[in-house]
Amino acid sequence: MKILVINAGSSSIKYQLIDMATEGVIAKGLCERIGIDGSVLTHKAGDKEAVIKASMPTHNEAINLILQAFVDKNHGVLKSMDEIKAVGHRVVHGAEDFSESALVNEKTMKLIENNIDLAPLHQPANIMGIKACIACMPKAKQVAVFDTTFHSSMPDYAYMYALPYEDYKNHKVRRYGFHGTSHMFISQEAEKIMDKKEYNLVVCHLGNGASVSAVKNGKSIDTSMGLTPLEGLIMGTRCGDLDPAIAEYLMAKHNMSIAEFTSYMNKKSGIAGISGSSSDFRDLLAAIDKGDKRAKLALEMFSYRVAKYVGAYAAALGGLDMVAFTGGVGEHTPEVREFVLNRLAFMGLKYDREFNANPGRGKVAKLSTDDSKIKAYIIPTNEELVIARETLKLVK
């Protein structure tokens, strides 16, 4: 079966077409600037790449353009669009309505739309992507795969905030967690590596957006992100954990509205805010080599926060069998891994420093030594494959 995976943003659509017989990617691409002048589709199939400039006033036109690229005589990979039997959609927020992925129907759509308030930046775009695919592909089944469902196994004492209980009951205020498809994939791969069903794992998904999860026997029991993706680790432009009183203090100092301060925390803080130069770790490391103290501070703050969460989650799990690094920073920034792994030495974790510095790219890599009490691995994530697998499971 061929499954199309869609990740729709407000002005973009990322996609992959996956053959589930082999789990291989047949084609993938990106539509950019939807609803904006200069919209373009970059489509890749094997060693062929096509850059298609065309008007995309809405997501409907973008989806149609993607489907046409699949059957194009020059770079097409399908004889007919009917070969696509199902579409899996990334949806950011499932709230408490979804503890697993769901076939899209009228009831499902209503519940997804009811949760727009919990993810106002992402949910509307996800909905537009689903509706566009329904309009353009009426024969294909649609499946919603949520960022939050993997963390729906958290116990109440882990997901509740110490606010009046009525805020939880009436306004859904609790911790939900995100990056669920990535944490799920890494957990499944880690289970294969350890070759046992009972295990304690900490997953470090580190990138421009970053989160850590505590996984016991394949289920999430805690994670660093909360009601929104703002809580937890320091990120590219997000502040992460913050004393709530800072909001009132800085809003008065800067004469900011609530919306302006929310944007300040989400878009102007984090690594970019501390370094004053960039949110990209490659830029950060280049600046450190030139003696930039703020860049060094940003890297150390980020790494320290990761190490604190790993230690806290080892306690939450009652022990630790493995720590896994994934995401752009987790896979490709040895300085961050070294900082974290050094701080786990007291638990009996030993690792190969030389191999950590150059473990290769795009592959599973064992960082820990054979006599280490805790395993440490790099495991490249594959969120699109998780969405495709979840879709296949439901449409079967």
Rounded Cα gap, residues 97 and 115, in angstroms: 9
Helix ranges (DSSP H) in 28-83: 59-71
- In a 13 Å sphere around the CA of 162, the CA atoms on its Cβ side amount to 1
DSSP code per residue over 189-240: HHHHHHT-SS-EEEEEE-SSS-EEEEEETTEEEEES--SSTTSSS--SS---
User: H-type helices in the chain, by residue range?
Assistant: 59-71, 106-114, 123-136, 156-159, 165-171, 180-194, 245-254, 258-267, 270-275, 281-289, 293-317, 327-332, 334-342, 353-357, 383-395
Q: Is 147 a catalytic residue?
A: yes
Candidates 37, 82, 147, 371; catalytic one: 147
In angstroms, rounded to a whole number, what is the distance separating the alpha carbons of residues 270 and 241?
Answer: 10
CB of 266 within 8 A of CB of 122?
no
Q: Which residues belong to the active site?
A: 147
